[in-house]
Amino acid sequence: MTIVLILLIAVVMVASASATLVVTRRRHPGIELEPPPAPPAPPTTPTPPPPIEQAPEAPPEAEITPEQVAELEAALQEPEVAPAPEPPAPAPEAPPVRPRFRDRLGKARSLFAGYVGSVRSRGKINEETWEDIEEALIRADVGVDTTTALLDDLRTKVRTDHITEPEALLDALKADLIDRLGAQDGQRELRYDDTVTPNVWLFVGVNGVGKTTTIGKLGLRAKAEGHEVLMAAADTFRAAAADQLELWAKRVGADLVRGAEGGDPGAVVFDAKERAAARHTDLILADTAGRLHTKVNLMEELKKVRRVAERPPGQVTEVLLVIDATTGQNGLVQAKEFAAAVGVTGIVLTKLDGTAKGGIAVAIQTELGLPIKLVGLGEAPEDLVDFDEHEFVDALFG
């Protein structure tokens, strides 16, 4: 009996000790029990798998509300991939802006600026004032004859208008320049006769002045104005010139007629006219050879081209002489030669953006009486602009 009692007491004590341990673990999960002793090494002979024990009953789980379930499900679902943002639409190409003379004639203006500054600084008109004005005009390539004529005019004005202030003298000079550069009404416009198909515009000038580029730029403008354009590569001396024109024709969406290298340029113009008439193309822009004007045979060749171009169908309504402003007075010599040979109707003065010699414009208009119709203020198509004497003179004097 005593033994049974002792055993009972022992059992009760063991049971209460293990219960205390379990409670302690639950209340203080950080407390680690001694790791259980390592399991015995596996037996070398296969032993039957132990019977699958019934999984101990899971502790009661906290109640999950249907809302939480829904939330969980939503979280587990494939994250919604936000549609890739549309690539930004390409910014609409800004319409080309016509450049201002003032912005492009920087070189010519800085030449004038020094002289104008010293004329102003004197506070009166004296011999040095006249020397300054003369030097400025000569250096800007206005030319000796035109400069002399301008100074004579100014001296007369100073006397008759009782001009004593340098500023008033400069104003008188500007007015005189504008006057000389002015053209009669309508003389400046490119001549196009809508009763004629096709109109032919011939482009003449020495190599490198910008003929082909001018044809390309004008072609774009003519297309935009609704003309059907054909480009004729009548410079058969240089295959590269025809290639360059072909590139422009593609860009413009113009028809192109070109001949064999070294072939007859008159034949190219003839073919161009036939094709233009057949296709109701209203405007032919014809490039011509530009070997040095001193070669007499070039002038003869150009005369022949013009004669062919004059024959019906259609009519030559412009013969535009392209002059590179950077060549200054040399351009005037060229202008005289071409005008005598092919009857130039207007001047295109290119590369005004790259020179201080813009004064050549005054010499051309004064000495030859030929209107400057277009000027090149850069290489982009929109840089070929109608000449405006007011803007031009304002740009020179800042």
For ligand GDP, the binding residues (CB under 6 A) are: 205, 207-213, 244, 290, 350-351, 353-354, 376, 378-379, 383
- Which residue in this structure is represented by tokens 């001047």? 347
Burial of residue 196 (number of CB atoms within 10 Å: 0-12, 13-18, 19+): middle
- Measured at CB, which residue is nearest to ligand GDP? 376
Q: Is the separation of the CB atoms in 76 and 368 below 8 Å? A: no
In whole angstroms, give the CA distance from residue 288 to residue 234: 5
Residue 201 Cβ, how far from ligand GDP at the closest point, in Å? 15
Burial of residue 156 (number of CB atoms within 10 Å: 0-12, 13-18, 19+): exposed
Residue 235 Cβ, how far from ligand GDP at the closest point, in Å? 8
In whole angstroms, give the CA distance from residue 200 to residue 315: 6
Residue 391 Cβ, how far from ligand GDP at the closest point, in Å? 16
Task: Name the residue nearer to ligand GDP (CB basis): 176 or 383.
Answer: 383
Q: Is the separation of the CB atoms in 299 and 214 below 8 Å? A: no
DSSP code of residue 187: T
In whole angstroms, give the CA distance from residue 150 to residue 135: 12
β-pairing, 255-258 vs 199-204, is unpaired
Task: Name the residue nearer to ligand GDP (CB basis): 118 or 207.
Answer: 207
Q: Which residue type does 388 have?
A: D
Query: Cα angle vertex 123, ends 122, 128, to 5°?
Result: 40
Task: Name the residue nearer to ligand GDP (CB basis): 248 or 270.
Answer: 248
Residue 354 Cβ, how far from ligand GDP at the closest point, in Å? 5
Residue 240 Cβ, how far from ligand GDP at the closest point, in Å? 9
Task: Name the residue nearer to ligand GDP (CB basis): 213 or 334.
Answer: 213
In whole angstroms, give the CA distance from residue 105 to residue 140: 12
Task: Name the residue nearer to ligand GDP (CB basis): 273 or 351.
Answer: 351
Task: Name the residue nearer to ligand GDP (CB basis): 173 or 320.
Answer: 320
Residue 224 Cβ, how far from ligand GDP at the closest point, in Å? 19
Residue 321 Cβ, how far from ligand GDP at the closest point, in Å? 11
In whole angstroms, give the CA distance from residue 321 to residue 229: 20
Task: Name the residue nearer to ligand GDP (CB basis): 337 or 383.
Answer: 383
Residue 271 Cβ, how far from ligand GDP at the closest point, in Å? 21
CA-nearest of 211, 116, 125, 107 to 161 is 125
Residue 361 Cβ, how far from ligand GDP at the closest point, in Å? 13
Task: Name the residue nearer to ligand GDP (CB basis): 235 or 282.
Answer: 235
Structure tokens, 319: 């013969």
Task: Give Cβ neighbours of residue 102 (< 8 Å, ≥ 6 apart).
Answer: 109, 391, 394, 395, 398
Residue 270 Cβ, how far from ligand GDP at the closest point, in Å? 22
Q: What is the DSSP string of 8-46?
A: HHHHHHHHHHHHHHHHHHHH-TTPPPPPPPPPPPPPSS-
Task: Name the residue nearer to ligand GDP (CB basis): 140 or 169.
Answer: 140
Task: Name the residue nearer to ligand GDP (CB basis): 205 or 331.
Answer: 205
